[in-house]
A and B are shown apart, each in its own frame.
Chain A
């Protein structure tokens, strides 16, 4: 037991380095994925059949070919074609494209589920296409898409654990190193707990975004209200008000 914690203390700085790599991949991948999701998601709703078909084909391609294959393609095959990218770039590209393609479907579906009345009202007010999307439709679709996006964000975090195969020393890599000094159970226990905590924090952040987005649509309480600890009386009073 003693030696486990000593080894952990000794390895801690390296584990933090690994954690930083994991976070960079997750957040970089998430940003890229969001851009791709919006572009492909909106693109797959275009009237132009060629552009729409292209967007759908890209979505199906990146969803259908497996994350690991894409990561390895960027890392092992591209250099053969004369394009050697840094491993971190390969990682972010692979994660961003793969999960961006999944999230694009979420964006498309959420936009489609904004009620027709909202679209009609924008027409009745003579809004332009970009105005109706940016100011009316997307803000409403955003609240709908957050839960699914949260799922994909956690998937992406979990997906980063493969990157030691493209030479990135991430959290998984460094806990693998730790295993050589400690019990197997201890080393992986530490690893799993750290991943779980990150996933949990990401989920909390996304939930906060959802509360805020819904509040902006006039549904549910504001973020500040949601975070204020409730005394039993106020909770009961609210329950009474709702009933």
Chain B
């Protein structure tokens, strides 16, 4: 039972971890990022198009979601919608939680589009709707791509929170294996290594992307 590292245990747990990685961790990351990207943009634009008091309410709800733990939100949704599968709940809660971050990113992106661009759409008598979709949003999005990437990585590393609602993601799979075999070392370490191997190169890619997209004015 002793010894620092047991290769047999490592080989035994690795397939389980990888399976959980593909079936849960990756799927949640991809789908939740998609939800956060779309919902966040919707919130950002909504907030700019409604009267001020309503915008303030939307902002408050966003702050509330952003400043409270995703773990409690997961548990809340899990016990409220008992008939829905935990994995689905996880995807939606992660998506909503991070959409509040993305809304802030979009807002900053929209603010960073120079006033001259707005003035040009007026000078060309473009409709408000056309101005948003053809001029402002495309420019705002360009600056937000790296931020979306960084939040995707952040979400990826947050996926172990799903174990609180019984979703068997990587860490849960590792803990189960560890409990059954009285060895946590290999399972937990490997889970960490997989996180590192997946997130580090991605974050390097994003920071390169960030440099390429920056300062285009």
Contact = CB atoms under 8 A, between A and B. Distances in A.
Complex contact flag A–B (Cβ < 8 Å): yes
Which of A67, A70, A175, A192 has the most CB atoms of chain B within a 10 A radius of its CB? A192
A73 interface: yes
Nearest to B202: A64
B34 interface: no
Interface of B: 4, 64, 66-73, 75-76, 79-80, 157-158, 160-161, 163-164, 171, 174-175, 178, 183-185, 188-189, 191-193, 195-196, 199-200, 203
A65 B68 contact: no
B72 A73 contact: no
Contacts of B185: 77, 80-81
Given A69-B171, A175-B72, A179-B79, A76 B196 contact: no
B188 A158 contact: no
Contacts of B64: 192, 196
Nearest to B154: A155
B18 to A, nearest CB: 15
Contacts of A196: 64, 67-68
A64 B195 contact: yes
Contacts of A77: 184-185, 188-189
List of 9 A-B pairs having minimum Cβ-Cβ separation, nearest first: A68-B160, A161-B69, A161-B71, A76-B184, A199-B67, A188-B76, A65-B192, A64-B196, A158-B69
B196 A65 contact: yes
Contacts of A159: 69
A176 interface: yes
Nearest to B171: A68
